[in-house]
Structure 1
Amino acid sequence: MRILLVGAGGVGDAIAKIAATRSFYDIFIVSDYDFARAEATIAWIRARHGDRVASKFLAAKIDASQAAVVAELCLNHKVTHLINAVEPKFVPTIFSAAYTAGVNYIDMAMSISEPHETDPFHKTGIKLGDGQFALHDQWERSGKLALVGCGAQPGLSNVFARYAAENLFSEIDEISVKDGGNLTVRDADGNELFAPHSSIWTTIEECLNPPVVYERSRGWYTTEPFSEPEIFEFPEGIGSLECVNVEHEEVTMLPRFIRANRVSFKYGLGREFIEVLKTLQKLGLDQTKPHRVRSAQGPVDVSPRDVVAAVLPDPAKIGPQMTGKSCVGILVTGKDLDGKDRATFLYHVADNSETMADLDAQCVVAQTAYAPVIALELMASGAWRGAGVLGPEAFDAVPFLDLMASNFGFSQKWVAQERLPASPLRHP
Structure 2
Amino acid sequence: MRVLVVGSGGVGSAFVAIASHREAYDHITVADIDVDKAQAAVETAVDVEGGRIEAAFVDASSEESVADLARRCRADVILNACDPRFNPPIFQGAFAAGCHYVDMAMHMSEPHPTDPYHKTGRRLGDAQFAQHPVWKNRGLMALVGMGVEPGFSDVAARYASDHLFSKIEEIGVRDGADLVVDGYDFAPTFSIWTTIEECLNPPVIYERERGWFTTEPFSEPEVFTFPEGIGPLQCVNVEHEEVILIPRWVDVERVTFKYGLGEDFINVLKTLKKLDLVSTEPVEVRGVKVSPRDVVAAALPDPAELGDKMHGRTCAGTWVKGLDNDGEPREIYVYHVVDNAWSMKEFGHQAVVWQTAVMPAVKKRSN
- Give the TM-score band, short-chain normalised: over 0.9
Alpha-carbon distance in 1 for matches of 2:364, 2:133: 22
Instruction: Determine the structure 1 residue equivalent to 2:18.
Output: 18
**Deviation sequence 1:371-400 (CA, Å, 0-9, x none):** 011111122xxxxxxxxxxxxxxxxxxxxx
In structure 2, distance between residues paired with 1:233 and 1:124? 30
Partner AA of 2:254 in structure 1: R
For 2:354, give the aligned amino acid. Answer: A
The question of 1:154 aligning with 2:150 is answered yes
Whichever residue aligns with residue 377 of structure 1, its letter is: R
Give yes or no for the alignment of 1:112 onto 2:108: yes
Deviation at 1:193, TM superposition (A): 2.6
Overall identity of the aligned pairs, in %: 54
Query: What is the aligned counterpart of 2:217 among 208, 211, 225?
Result: 225
In structure 1, the residue matched to 2:236 is: 244
Which residue of structure 2 lines up, in the alignment, with residue 39 of structure 1? 39
For 2:312, the equivalent position in structure 1 comes to 324
2:16/2:30 contact within 8 Å kept: yes
1:224 maps to amino acid:
E
Amino acid at match of 2:58: I
Equivalent AA in structure 2 for residue 252 of structure 1: I
Superposition deviation, residue 300 in structure 1: 0.8
1:200 aligned partner: 192
SS in 2 for 1:194: coil
Root-mean-square deviation (Å) = 0.8
CA apart distance, 1:76: 1.2
Deviation at 1:51, TM superposition (A): 3.7
Instruction: Give structure 1 regions of 4+ aligned residues with deviation exceeding 4 angstroms.
Output: none
1:134 to 130, 134, 150: 130
Count of aligned pairs: 367
SS in 2 for 1:178: strand
Which residue is equivalent to 1:28?
28
| TM-score normalized by the length of structure 2 | 0.99
Choose the corresponding residue for 1:235, options 224, 227, 233.
227
Taking structure 1 as the reference length, the TM-score comes to 0.85
Cα deviation for residue 305 of structure 1 reads: 0.3
Match of 2:272 in 1: 280
- Shift, 1:37, TM fit: 1.0
Structure 1 residue 38 displacement after superposition: 1.1
Partner of 1:388: none
Name the CA distance, whole Å, in 2 between partners of 1:88 and 1:114.
Answer: 13
Q: Output the amino acid matched with 1:324.
A: G
Question: Which of residues 226, 241, 255 is equivalent to 2:247?
Answer: 255
Residue matched to 2:360 = 372
Equivalent position of 1:393 in the other structure:
none
Partner SS for 1:264: strand
Q: Which residue of 2 aligns with 1:211?
A: 203
Q: Do 2:20 and 2:47's aligned partners in 1 also have CA atoms closer than 8 Å?
A: no
Of 249, 260, 268, 1:268 maps to 260
SS where residue 257 of structure 2 aligns?
strand
Query: Distance between the aligned counterparts of 1:219 and 1:319, measured in 2?
Result: 40
- Equivalent residue number for residue 90 of structure 2: 94
The aligned amino acid for 2:104 is M
Paired residue secondary structure (1:173): strand
Pair 1:70-2:66 in alignment: yes
What is the DSSP-based 3-state SS (H/G/I as helix, E as strand, rest coil) of the residue aligned with 1:261? Answer: strand
- Where do 5+ consecutive residues of structure 1 fail to align? 380-428
Q: CA separation in 2, counterparts of 1:34 and 1:77? A: 18
Q: Do residues 57 (structure 1) and 53 (structure 2) align?
A: yes
Aligned-pair distance for 1:50?
5.1
Partner deviation per Cα, 1:295-318 (whole Å, 9 max, x = no partner): xxxx11100000000001110000
| Cα-to-partner distance string for 1:54-74 (whole Å, 9 max, x where unaligned) | 421111011101110100011
